[in-house]
Amino acid sequence: MKIFKIYILLLILLIPEFLFSQVYSKLKILNVTDETIKFLAYSGLPLEETYYNKFDNSMELIVDEKQYELIKKKGIQYIEVIDDVVKWFLNKNNQSKQVFYKTKSELPKGFIYGSMGGYPKINEFISMLDTMAILYTDFVKSKESIGKTYEGRDIYLIKISNYKNNKEKDKILFTGLHHAREGASLTSLLYYMFYILENYERDSIIKFLLDNKEFYFIPMLNPDGYAYNQLTNPDGGGMWRKNRTPYGNEFGVDLNRNYGYMWGYDEVGSSSQPSYITYRGPEPFSENETKAIKKLCESNSFVSAINYHTYGNLIVYPWGYTNLQPPDVNWYRYISSKIVKKINYKYGNAYETVGYKTNGDSDDWLYGDNKSKNKIFAFSPELGSSTDYFWATIDRIEPIAKEAMCINNFISLYSGAYIDSVCIKGENFICSNDTSIVAIQLMNGGLREVDSCIIQISTTDTNLILINNKLMVNHIKAFDVSDTVFYRISFKKNTPFGYTAKYKLMLNYNGLPYQKDLSITKINDKPVNYESFDITQENNKILLKWTTNYEMRHNGFFIDKKSNNQNYLQIGYISSKGELGGLYTFLDFPKEAGYYTYRIRTYDNNEPKYTPEKNIYFKLYPYRYSLFQNYPNPSNPETTISFYLPYRTKLELSIYNVLGKKIKTIVDNYYEEGLHNVKVNLSDLPSQVYFYELKTNDYREVKKLILVK
């Protein structure tokens, strides 16, 4: 009996797999523990299509019959969600077809739905490639084979670019169908290829991309696996994932585990067992498909690569083999966050998105291997939502392709030098007749350096005066900001407040034009526009002098003063001269010498505004008329007579003899306020005692003078 059983088992194992119609089921595993995950992973269970639900601690996964048995045996708790996912897809697709064919869609003309549940059969795929090459000769290089699969099928590459120019272009690689059952990865690329070919003239982004990038499309990397699904499930929904290379009694390698970076790092998410759907192959690059990609990347320096998969609405980037982040995680997050503003996707490394690690996957090698080729910024988007599952129903093919288009456009734009923002750092207004100094910085979000960038500022608005209209920014590193540069703008004098003028920045870098529309508004943020404000000491007064060229919304100026460390006190007020302003003066008469600080205060909507403070050291002169003792005294024959006047006045300085007779008038004239020193020569007088007198209309003082010759 025993021997008989073993015999039957052997027989079963030897019968080619496709003779069985494999049933795949979807299970929801309950009460997930680390142990369960380990068991599932080490049993080669397809954790890849698993989504862990942290709210009820469950995960859904898809299993074949063998795996179903394993789970039952292990006593793992589960609910069967779908007993046969292929049937389930066919059913669902039939229902949606009925609605779908009645609705109109706006597909690219060359894109056609295939006969495999909406997905193309291999011959339909090939004829679409040929259509492209025939219709768009300026943009498409005919399909070329980059290798043959184990079963002898060609792996096709189609290059698309604007070949009318022969610029040096940034190369971007796109692949679909690493996994044979992920149909939307193929249709989304075909959709995009036709879209860009048909919309060069209509869509400025596409024009820019085709003029500056060269796209390398490999929409069907795994034709053997796809052909197998076509055979077993001609209406779509086939569940084969790997390619079809035989290894012992088993078939197929998971191409997304066969790349040579950290290949076989561990047994998590990648298996050494040929029977497992994540079988990594006997050695890195054992498969013709991955070999073809390797060779292509070694002979072309791609900036980036997008490898499409389904499903999960995810943008996945390295690493796969570890939970750690790639060195360029900041850029990966930067670009991904821009994409997810447009489409409802999540992003992160493998662990953060699909929830498990994978070693030997395409992205890790493309990005991580920097020896045999350059670093390629790789992504593996998982197209479609969890309800779309592997094969989205036909009505979902176009919406999913549009999401992929958004991903393609973004990543392509950033695969090169790409200034994506101009940051205005100054204020975008001008007050009064001031000049506004606008400070700007440019952000290069792209993966290549900007060599130099010329910024041209232009306007058609005659009220605007561009003081400098050409700037130069030298060298912006990849994913970095430029130095700050400045330009100056002002408005013509009579431009009213509130007026907004438009102007343009034209950036020209690495031969690429970029335009940014900006505006600037003339507003008055200040009630008063000062031209000057000075203080000086004049004799025993302090003179405050200021000029304005514009005043508004205020009545006048409050003059504040403080001495040493005291508080400000208001010492005066002067009314405004009106909107055009003018010259103002204010006199202060401090009583004591000392250090004084002044400022002028105005109000704007009850809010005080101050001029800058002005300091002065004030020296006190005797405040009254003073006649000082002459020196030298006795004199021979020259002497100096000093006096102090509190204000400008006419005065007489005279010499008298002891008898009171005026002998000489030295000065009879107007003198300015302040201290004066008058030199007197007495050589014509005999030695004797004299008197000198200072006389004005309100003052008289006399002092004695001795002349000794």
**Cβ neighbour number for residue 693 with a 10 Å cutoff:** 17
* CB nearer to ligand 0X9: pick between 182 and 588: 182
| Min dist. Cβ of residue 50 to ligand 0X9 (A) | 9
- Catalytic status, residue 69: no
| Min dist. Cβ of residue 64 to ligand 0X9 (A) | 15
How far does CA 236 lie from the centroid of its chain?
Answer: 43
* CB nearer to ligand 0X9: pick between 49 and 224: 49
- What is the distance between the alpha carbons of residues 312 and 355, in angstroms, rounded to a whole number? 11
* CB nearer to Zn ion: pick between 113 and 390: 390
**What character string, x for contact with ligand 0X9 (CB under 6 A) and - otherwise, covers 128-167?**
----------------------------------------
Question: Which partner from the list ligand 0X9, Zn ion, none does 49 bind, CB cut-off 5 to 8 Å by kind?
Answer: ligand 0X9
Q: Which amino acid is at 566?
A: Q
| Min dist. Cβ of residue 67 to ligand 0X9 (A) | 16
Q: Which stretch binds Zn ion (CB under 5 A): 132-140, 171-179, 478-486, 541-549?
A: 171-179
Q: Which residues, other chains included, contact 634 with Cβ-Cβ below 8 Å and sequence gap of 6+?
A: 706, 707, 708
**Cβ neighbour number for residue 262 with a 10 Å cutoff:** 22
Q: Which stretch binds Zn ion (CB under 5 A): 30-38, 172-180, 243-251, 651-659?
A: 172-180
Does 242 interact with Zn ion (rule: CB under 5 A)? no
Quote the radius of gyration of the chain (alpha carbons, Å): 45
Question: Exposed, middle or buried: residue 652 (CB in 10 Å: 0-12, 13-18, 19+)?
Answer: middle
How far from 531 is each of 574, 580, 641, CA to CA, in Å? 17, 12, 43
* CB nearer to ligand 0X9: pick between 71 and 180: 180
* CB nearer to Zn ion: pick between 289 and 461: 289
* CB nearer to ligand 0X9: pick between 268 and 431: 268
Q: Which residues, other chains included, contact 194 with Cβ-Cβ below 8 Å and sequence gap of 6+?
A: 108, 109, 110, 111, 128, 132
Question: Which partner from the list Zn ion, ligand 0X9, none does 315 bind, CB cut-off 5 to 8 Å by kind?
Answer: none
| Min dist. Cβ of residue 310 to ligand 0X9 (A) | 6
**What character string, x for contact with ligand 0X9 (CB under 6 A) and - otherwise, covers 38-57?**
----------xx--------
Percent helix, strand and coil across the chain, each rounded to 5? 25, 40, 40
- What is the distance between the alpha carbons of residues 84 and 82, in angstroms, rounded to a whole number? 6
CB 407 within 8 A of CB 185: no
* CB nearer to ligand 0X9: pick between 320 and 527: 320
CB 373 within 8 A of CB 297: yes
Question: Which partner from the list Zn ion, ligand 0X9, none does 363 bind, CB cut-off 5 to 8 Å by kind?
Answer: ligand 0X9
**What character string, x for contact with ligand 0X9 (CB under 6 A) and - otherwise, covers 597-636?**
----------------------------------------
308-347 positions binding Zn ion, by CB under 5 A: 309
CA atoms within 13 A on the CB side of 319: 16
Q: Which residues, other chains included, contact 44 with Cβ-Cβ below 8 Å and sequence gap of 6+?
A: 271, 273, 275, 276, 277, 278, 279
Q: Which stretch binds ligand 0X9 (CB under 6 A): 14-22, 196-204, 312-320, 640-648?
A: 312-320
| Min dist. Cβ of residue 380 to Zn ion (A) | 8
Does 225 interact with ligand 0X9 (rule: CB under 6 A)? no
* CB nearer to Zn ion: pick between 153 and 241: 241
| Min dist. Cβ of residue 325 to ligand 0X9 (A) | 12
- What is the distance between the alpha carbons of residues 382 and 256, in angstroms, rounded to a whole number? 13
**What character string, x for contact with Zn ion (CB under 5 A) and - otherwise, covers 576-615?**
----------------------------------------
Does 257 interact with Zn ion (rule: CB under 5 A)? no
**Cβ neighbour number for residue 449 with a 10 Å cutoff:** 17
The partner residues of 604 in beta bridges, in order of sequence, read 607
- What is the distance between the alpha carbons of residues 261 and 315, in angstroms, rounded to a whole number? 20
| Min dist. Cβ of residue 42 to ligand 0X9 (A) | 16
174-203 positions binding Zn ion, by CB under 5 A: 179, 182
User: What residue has token string 């992504």?
Assistant: 379
* CB nearer to ligand 0X9: pick between 26 and 169: 26
323-382 positions binding ligand 0X9, by CB under 6 A: 350, 354, 358, 361, 363-364, 380, 382
Instruction: Please give, one letter per residue, the 3-state secondary structure of 534-589.
Output: EEEEECCEEEEEEEEEEECCCCEEEEEEEECCCCCEEEEEEECCCCCCCEEEEEEC
165-184 positions binding ligand 0X9, by CB under 6 A: 179, 182
Does 309 interact with ligand 0X9 (rule: CB under 6 A)? yes
CB 240 within 8 A of CB 64: no
CB 475 within 8 A of CB 450: yes
Question: Which partner from the list ligand 0X9, Zn ion, none does 224 bind, CB cut-off 5 to 8 Å by kind?
Answer: none
Q: Which amino acid is at 702?
A: V
- Total site size for ligand 0X9, rule CB under 6 A: 17
286-315 positions binding Zn ion, by CB under 5 A: 309
244-273 positions binding ligand 0X9, by CB under 6 A: 256
- What is the distance between the alpha carbons of residues 280 and 453, in angstroms, rounded to a whole number? 47
Of the candidates 263, 139, 236, 152, the one whose C-alpha atom is nearest the C-alpha of residue 194 is: 139
* CB nearer to ligand 0X9: pick between 140 and 253: 253
- What is the distance between the alpha carbons of residues 489 and 466, in angstroms, rounded to a whole number? 5
Catalytic residue among 382, 398, 403, 551: 382
Return the DSSP state at 477.
-
* CB nearer to Zn ion: pick between 349 and 432: 349
- What is the distance between the alpha carbons of residues 155 and 143, in angstroms, rounded to a whole number? 10
| Min dist. Cβ of residue 442 to ligand 0X9 (A) | 31
| Min dist. Cβ of residue 319 to ligand 0X9 (A) | 6
Closest residue to ligand 0X9, based on beta-carbon distance: 320
Question: Which partner from the list Zn ion, ligand 0X9, none does 316 bind, CB cut-off 5 to 8 Å by kind?
Answer: ligand 0X9
Assigned token pair, 610: 């101050």
* CB nearer to Zn ion: pick between 383 and 411: 383
Assigned token pair, 327: 């060195």
CB 703 within 8 A of CB 691: yes
Does 318 interact with ligand 0X9 (rule: CB under 6 A)? yes
| Min dist. Cβ of residue 524 to ligand 0X9 (A) | 56
Residues forming contacts to Zn ion in the complex (CB under 5 A) are 179, 182, 309
Binding site for ligand 0X9 (CB under 6 A): 48-49, 179, 182, 256, 309, 316, 318, 320, 350, 354, 358, 361, 363-364, 380, 382
Active site residues: 382
